[in-house]
């Protein structure tokens, strides 16, 4: 199938833009390396932090934390609770990392076998490309906020490229947030959240989009394994916050700190939680963990959508959600949290 001339130009423009960005970051990295050699006798900020060196530089061996999932699935609450921990910094969404990953995947998918052979013959192999992308993403994560012993990124849709992120950052770990698809649809419509290419006024289309994207992310999470990808239902995070955070911090190899279940007390404080004035979730996340959003969808979605949920969104059952009733008992849903509680 041949691409139109317009699409080809668009593809090459994206490719050139991404390659230019990676070139600039590599040059910056080389420049910083030279400066470090000149000043190696002087202590840097990364050497002093009560015995826990904060990171302001990331390489492929850095144990990064990634928080993701479909929009309106509790990713902002999750990152705020992690941000409240003194050793973790997530910060606001970068909004650029998902676009970089999408552009890179397009570049790779449009390369013919012959072109790939020529590229590898020239020494431009997959490992070199992965390293260049890791430098670009790592610099953004490290430099868009304050340094911390553990750095974290929360851009929900990065999890569409979860397998690739896991490959370029082999010591990273992933917290995959999921939520009842019906609640996600209601929240997107109520809040006027815009997802490019999706009609956010058509609940059936939204639910189908949620199903396809969440199913894709879940498959990658399962393939990666429980040692690196942890799936947490939003419902269990708000129903069992302390138990959920205990499991999450143990998974991340981070010691317990009570601040994670009182994130609202750390908002705006130095080393605490910074919220965006432009993000749709801010007015909710600035409050203590609560159950107010748990069943809002039950009275506001059409009976027709409820009746056809199984057909439209089979991933709901895969994740353990009960689609048969209007007021499901989320406490009985299987997850790592409820298994731990039992």
Quick check: helix, strand or coil at residue 231?
strand
Please give the Cα distance from 159 to 186 (Å, whole number). 22
Of the candidates 260, 264, 245, 249, the one whose C-alpha atom is nearest the C-alpha of residue 86 is: 260
Distance in angstroms (rounded) separating the CA atoms of residues 168 and 205 = 33
Element (H, E) at 165: helix 162-168
Contacts of 275 (CB under 8 A, 6+ apart): 80, 92, 267, 268, 282, 285, 286
| Residues labelled catalytic | 93
**Number of Cβ within a 10 Å radius of residue 187:** 22
Contact 316, 181 (CB under 8 A): yes
CB atoms near residue 36 (< 10 Å): 12
Count the Cβ atoms, other than its own, within 10 Å of residue 60.
17
The pair phi, psi for residue 173, each rounded to 5°, is -130, 155
C-alpha gyration radius of the chain: 21
Kindly write down the DSSP assignment for every residue of 59-112, as one continuous string: -TTS--EEEE-STTSSHHHHHHHHHTSTTEE--S--SSHHHHHHHHHHHHHT--
Tokens of 217: 């992310």
Q: Report yes or no: 240 and 185 within 8 Å, Cβ to Cβ.
A: no
Residue 48 burial by Cβ neighbours in a 10 Å radius (0-12, 13-18, 19+): exposed
């Amino acid at each position: 199938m041949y691409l139109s001339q317009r699409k080809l130009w668009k593809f090459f423009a994206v490719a050139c833009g991404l390659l230019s960005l990676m070139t600039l970051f590599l040059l910056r990295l080389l420049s910083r390396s030279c400066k470090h050699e000149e000043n190696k006798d002087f202590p840097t900020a990364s050497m002093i932090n009560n015995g826990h060196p904060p990171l302001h530089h990331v390489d492929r061996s850095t144990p990064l934390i990634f928080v993701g999932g479909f929009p309106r699935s509790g990713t902002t609450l999750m990152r705020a609770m992690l941000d409240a921990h003194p050793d973790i910094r997530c910060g606001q969404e970068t909004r650029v990392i998902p676009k970089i990953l999408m552009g890179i995947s397009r570049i790779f998918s449009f390369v013919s076998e012959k072109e790939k052979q020529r590229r590898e013959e020239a020494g431009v192999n997959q490992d070199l490309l992965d390293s260049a992308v890791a430098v670009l993403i790592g610099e953004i994560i490290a430099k868009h906020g304050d340094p911390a012993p553990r750095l974290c990124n929360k851009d929900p849709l990065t999890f569409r490229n979860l397998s690739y992120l896991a490959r370029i950052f082999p010591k990273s770990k992933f917290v995959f947030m999921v939520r009842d698809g019906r609640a996600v649809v209601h929240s997107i419509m109520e809040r006027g959240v815009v997802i490019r290419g999706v009609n956010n006024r058509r609940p059936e289309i939204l639910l189908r989009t949620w199903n396809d994207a969440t199913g894709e992310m879940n498959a990658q999470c399962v393939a990666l394994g429980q040692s690196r990808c942890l799936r947490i239902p939003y419902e269990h995070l708000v129903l069992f916050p302390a138990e959920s955070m205990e499991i999450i911090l143990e998974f991340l190899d981070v010691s317990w700190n009570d601040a994670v279940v009182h994130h609202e007390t750390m908002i705006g404080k130095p080393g605490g939680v910074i919220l965006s004035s432009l993000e749709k979730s801010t007015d909710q996340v600035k409050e203590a963990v609560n159950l107010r959003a748990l069943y809002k969808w039950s009275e506001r979605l059409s009976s027709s959508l409820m009746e056809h949920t199984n057909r439209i969104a089979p991933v709901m059952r895969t994740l353990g959600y009960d689609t048969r009733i209007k007021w499901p008992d989320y406490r009985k849903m299987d997850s790592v949290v409820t298994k731990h509680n039992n």
